[in-house]
Amino acid sequence: MWMGNIDVNAMGTTEPAALAAATGALDAIRLLAGIDPEYRIPSSLARRARKAKAGKAIKLLMASPWWSRIWTVQETTSPKNATILWGPLSIPWSFMKDAAENLIQGHYPPAERLRVHDLVDEFGFFTYQILGLMFAARWVVQPHPPLEMLWRFRYRDSTDPRDKVYVILNLVAEGTYPLPSVPTSNYTLTTVVLYRRVMLDLLCNERGLRAMIGLRGERKSVPGLPSWVVDWSRPIEGFGISDFWAHSRFWLTYTANRGLPMLNLDELTSPDHGEDVLNVNGVFFDKILVCSDVITKEEEGDRLYELAAELIAKALVEKPHRVISEDYWHEALVDIIKGNYAKPEIIIEGVSSDAYWREEMLKYQQLFITENGAVGLGPSRTSIGDEVWVLSGGQSPFLLGPLHANDAAIKSQDCSYHYTFRGDVFVPAIMGGEAVESRIENQRFVHIH
């Protein structure tokens, strides 16, 4: 596997010195992998200064664009005895994997032989890249749900956006078809058609709408994609705001759709509305009255409470004769900000779920109040007049933007119940099926373009 040439300019030295540092880097990886049980130190690492240069070279090795390519996933999982080639040097891929596993598990060389921190201050840059590829190799034996496989590698680079799907076909055991409508790599399909087919496969595979969560209003890079179809191409620089993993962890704790029939997999699309339109049964809950500014990644503490206060002030202007108490709005919005609706006894990634909520679930989203006084948290691009729906197969509620007769997507004069997709939302009053219970007689199909 060709990593590229050793970048002498990046090393900031001469070619012989750069080669010496790169040699030290690979020697250090061999030691970290435990290849020599006696941990004998080679001359390339005999002095502290050489170790520091070797550490810098390891960072340059791991900064290679090769690591971010989508096809790197296949290259590292297909061959049994792969070798990394870096300029004139080489090292078995298995040594890289062993070194990463040892670092994660805290199995370091004896300190009197090699101190890891003499090489680098921290090693997350090394282990992160390699462990992700190791997980992919295990999928060949025991595939994960295709939805999770696609999300795992969504942020990798590809020359052709269709590669993001086709590489998955090379990660599963022979004879298995996680995406039935995409049995082989077919580059005669357009990206739009391919991604739409994949999305329908995912909805069927999941038997629900989990594939539609976590986008947070992220803009699409592929022109012409329906709003409900995930764009698997790498997000536009600076606009990668989705977080499927965080939303998925909380999704599993909700039952907003309790009482609705199961998602009808046979009627997701229809000849009447075309293949670009998703048809889903559900119940209408409420419309957005007011919404806050988008919560940025940096905002926390006092600024979040200011956003809540500003939101309440907007609602009071719109609905001065409100029925809902202003104190209720304040308390409910603060509870959302603090993660008080999460169950602290549930541990997510080593922290309580309320702490995880505060860290991961607020950014790039908006607080809102509905016309009938419910509060909630929704995706960026939430707009006044958007509608909260509980849909079959949706353990969380969803936000839909009504389409109008003059919208290009509408093919007839009747635009009733035709929408664009915004994203999943959190509304504390209805996460356990309460909206369905009181509206079960009013369920109907919506058409999402």
Residues 290 and 368 in one domain: yes
pTM of the entire structure? 0.89
Residues 232 and 332 in one domain: no
Q: What local confidence, expressed as pLDDT, does residue 142 receive?
A: 74
d(CA 276, CA 255): 28
Residues 15 and 120 in one domain: yes
Is residue 249 included in any domain, yes or no? no
Helix, strand or coil, per DSSP, at residue 280:
strand
Q: What local confidence, expressed as pLDDT, does residue 168 receive?
A: 80
Residues 269 and 417 in one domain: yes
Helix, strand or coil, per DSSP, at residue 238:
coil
User: Of 138, 159, 186, at which residue does a domain stop?
Assistant: 138
**10 Å Cβ neighbour count for 405?**
11
d(CA 173, CA 167): 13
d(CA 409, CA 387): 18
Residues 154 and 220 in one domain: yes
Could you say which DSSP state residue 443 is in? -
Each residue's pLDDT tens digit in the chain (449 positions)? 998 899 888 888 899 999 999 999 999 999 999 999 999 999 999 999 999 999 999 999 999 999 999 988 888 877 678 899 999 999 999 999 999 999 999 999 998 889 999 999 999 999 998 988 888 877 777 767 889 989 988 988 999 999 999 988 777 766 666 788 988 899 999 999 999 999 999 999 999 999 999 999 999 999 999 999 999 998 777 778 999 999 999 999 999 999 999 999 999 999 888 899 999 999 999 999 999 999 998 887 899 999 999 999 999 998 876 667 889 999 999 999 999 999 888 888 889 999 999 999 999 999 999 999 999 999 999 999 999 999 999 999 999 999 987 776 676 667 889 999 999 999 999 999 999 999 999 999 999 99
User: Of 116, 138, 160, at which residue does a domain stop?
Assistant: 138
Q: Is there a contact between 157 and 234 (Cβ–Cβ < 8 Å)?
A: yes
Is residue 253 included in any domain, yes or no? no
- Residues spanned by the domain of 354: 265-448
Q: Is there a contact between 194 and 221 (Cβ–Cβ < 8 Å)?
A: no
Residues 312 and 438 in one domain: yes
Q: What local confidence, expressed as pLDDT, does residue 339 receive?
A: 95
Residue 209: C-alpha distances to residues 149, 368, 372 (Å): 16, 23, 26
Q: What local confidence, expressed as pLDDT, does residue 194 receive?
A: 97
Residue 323 one-letter amino acid: V
DSSP, residue by residue, 185-202: --TTS-HHHHHHHHHHHH
Residues 132 and 150 in one domain: no
Structure tokens at 124: 């997350």
Residues 178 and 61 in one domain: no
Query: Helices 302-318 and 326-338, interaxial angle, to 10°?
Result: 150
Structure tokens at 170: 């090379």
Q: Is there a contact between 241 and 217 (Cβ–Cβ < 8 Å)?
A: yes
Residue 334 one-letter amino acid: V
d(CA 374, CA 435): 11
Bridge partner residues of 174 (DSSP): none
Is residue 411 included in any domain, yes or no? yes
Structure tokens at 207: 């038997």
d(CA 363, CA 242): 10
Residues 304 and 444 in one domain: yes
Angle at 235 between CA 419 and CA 238, to 5 degrees: 110
Instruction: Report which of 399, 383, 396, 382 is spatially closest to residue 432, judged by C-alpha positions.
Output: 396
Is residue 348 included in any domain, yes or no? yes
Q: What local confidence, expressed as pLDDT, does residue 176 receive?
A: 67
Is residue 86 included in any domain, yes or no? yes
Residues 318 and 207 in one domain: no
Residues 276 and 366 in one domain: yes
Residues 19 and 149 in one domain: no
Residue 101 one-letter amino acid: E
Q: What count of Cα atoms within 13 Å lies in the side-chain half-sphere of residue 12?
A: 4
Instruction: Report which of 190, 187, 359, 200 is spatially closest to residue 264, judged by C-alpha positions.
Output: 200
Is residue 260 included in any domain, yes or no? no
Is residue 431 included in any domain, yes or no? yes
User: Of 224, 240, 256, at which residue does a domain stop?
Assistant: 240
Q: Is there a contact between 331 and 309 (Cβ–Cβ < 8 Å)?
A: no
Is residue 245 included in any domain, yes or no? no
Q: Is there a contact between 399 and 212 (Cβ–Cβ < 8 Å)?
A: no
Q: Is there a contact between 421 and 227 (Cβ–Cβ < 8 Å)?
A: yes
Bridge partner residues of 426 (DSSP): 377
Q: How many domains does the chain have?
A: 3
Q: What local confidence, expressed as pLDDT, does residue 173 receive?
A: 61
